[in-house]
Chain A
Amino acid sequence: MSGNHRCSRAVALALLFATLTFSQASAHCFVGARFLPATLNTDDPCVADEMSLPTISWSRTADMPPATEWDVGADFSKRITADFGISLSETWKQIRGPGGPTMAGFDNLQTAAQYQLLKDGSHELAMLLGLVVDWGSTGAINSGIATPYSVLAPTYYFGKGFGDLPDEAGWLRAFAVTGEVGYQIPSRSFDVVQQTFIPQVLAWSGSIQYSMPYLKSEIIDLQLPDFINHLIPIVEFQMSTPAANNFGNSFVTTGTINPGVIWVGSYFQVGLEAQVPVNAQSGHGIGVIGQLHLYLDDMFPKTIGQPLIGPSTPTQQLKF
């Protein structure tokens, strides 16, 4: 190990252990009285200390005949300051064609740097800006899973709960929406192996969710079974639309609509969704995705559940 590497590791460890400040924390995605869960396809609009391990999905590709695809992913997010965080994501993929070869390996490493623009508790509104990078040549290129080029995606995220509607809106106040819009820019414009242009893509996704915990604690306690009071039924969608440099390729939007449910606990949540392709170019048949998501800020509030630097106070102090 070189001296520089030793020094870097020492600094990282020092930062890691220098996290014991006593301040009011509001990490994963609390915005006022609203808790926005980590959704399976759309990143929630908050920097946080959290980990998804694993996220597992099964689907059939758009190929004819369709191949079967398994994805097993892990995602780790860490606040550097109260408003700035980073994420590391990695996915192992296996694509098995009918009677054909099986491709398997790791996709490229993905990182995200995110800045919390706003947390407005009274309006249950959160906004986040991020730069998502798929690092080329960090995955299994030879097996066709990963690409040799990188992709940069400036991304905007938002979340809005409807608890600020008048009381007359009643049960509707338990609804919330989240969304994410990113513009994916590849580091190369032409794939010399496939002899195709590599398009720039508009990636847009979102969710509409109904919070049973919010219904119980903010609107009306129906004294339902405890399990029901922890559920958040949800419909997500994730879409990709080629936007530029797509000569000779289809401009059709592809994606899936994912109805499902998330069970929210104190330290973790479990999500399960169906994946319904929106057209033939998006896949065949209904897939499924499941995720175990850990709230590191609740599990380890005095160590990795704190920002590495400074207090936990968010951009806009939650109002009371």
Chain B
Amino acid sequence: MRKFLILVPLLFTPLAPDAARAHAFLDHASPLVGSTVPAAPHEVALTFTQNLEPAFSTAQVTDSSGARVDQGKAQVSGNTMTIGLKAIGPGSYKVHWHALSVDTHSTEGTFTFHVGGH
């Protein structure tokens, strides 16, 4: 027991807190996750709970057949990732994202949005 009591404070000695930045969760997206929008958007914008590392944060948008409908590399600024879309029609689209927060924590996710009356 005594060893245990010694060990715990020892482990916390270096706790001059790091600039604590946690995992980057998806806070909200435009179009909204799972939403149906009447007109095709020109881009997908993802806002996260933490700032991102641009070099290691990516997104792709695919249609129902799995073909990419985005315009390539996502743009990252602060906690926002934006990716342009090609001209798309009515249908369901999947957004796949992978975010690396600035403290190197990795998260990922996928969601669907719909265009038109789907």
Interface residues of A (CB under 8 A from B): 9, 12-13, 16-17, 22-27, 30, 32-33, 74, 76, 78, 88, 90, 106, 109, 121, 138-139, 167, 213, 216-221, 223, 266-267, 295, 297-305, 312, 318, 320
Contact = CB atoms under 8 A, between A and B. Distances in A.
B22 A295 contact: yes
B111 A217 contact: yes
Contacts of B105: 24-27, 297-298, 301
B1 interface: yes
B106 A221 contact: no
B68 interface: no
A88 B7 contact: yes
Interface residues of B, number: 41
Given A33-B108, A299-B17, A299-B20, 12 more contacts: A17-B14, A24-B106, A26-B107, A90-B4, A109-B4, A217-B111, A220-B34, A223-B32, A298-B23, A300-B20, A301-B18, A301-B104
Contacts of A220: 32-35
20 contacts: A13-B10, A16-B11, A16-B14, A22-B104, A24-B106, A25-B104, A30-B23, A33-B107, A33-B108, A74-B8, A88-B7, A138-B1, A218-B33, A267-B22, A297-B105, A298-B22, A298-B105, A301-B105, A304-B12, A312-B104
B58 to A, nearest CB: 8
Nearest to B98: A320
Nearest to B94: A167
B1 A139 contact: yes
B86 interface: no
Contacts of A25: 103-106
B22 A90 contact: no
Please list the 9 inter-chain residue pairs (A to B) with the smallest Cβ-Cβ separation, ordered nearest first. Answer: A220-B34, A298-B22, A266-B22, A221-B33, A301-B103, A217-B26, A33-B109, A24-B106, A221-B32
A301 B112 CA distance: 32
A300 B7 contact: no
Name the residue among B8, B14, B23, B100 with the largest chain A CB count within 10 angstroms. Answer: B23
Contacts of B25: 213, 217, 266
Interface in B25-40: 25-26, 28-29, 32-35
B18 A303 contact: yes
B62 interface: no
Contact of A218 (B14, B15, B58, B109): B109
A76 B33 contact: no
B16 to A, nearest CB: 9
B8 to A, nearest CB: 6
Nearest to B29: A221
A26 B106 CA distance: 6
Given A33-B108, A121-B108, A12 B33 contact: no
Contacts of B92: 167
A33 B15 CA distance: 30
B49 interface: yes
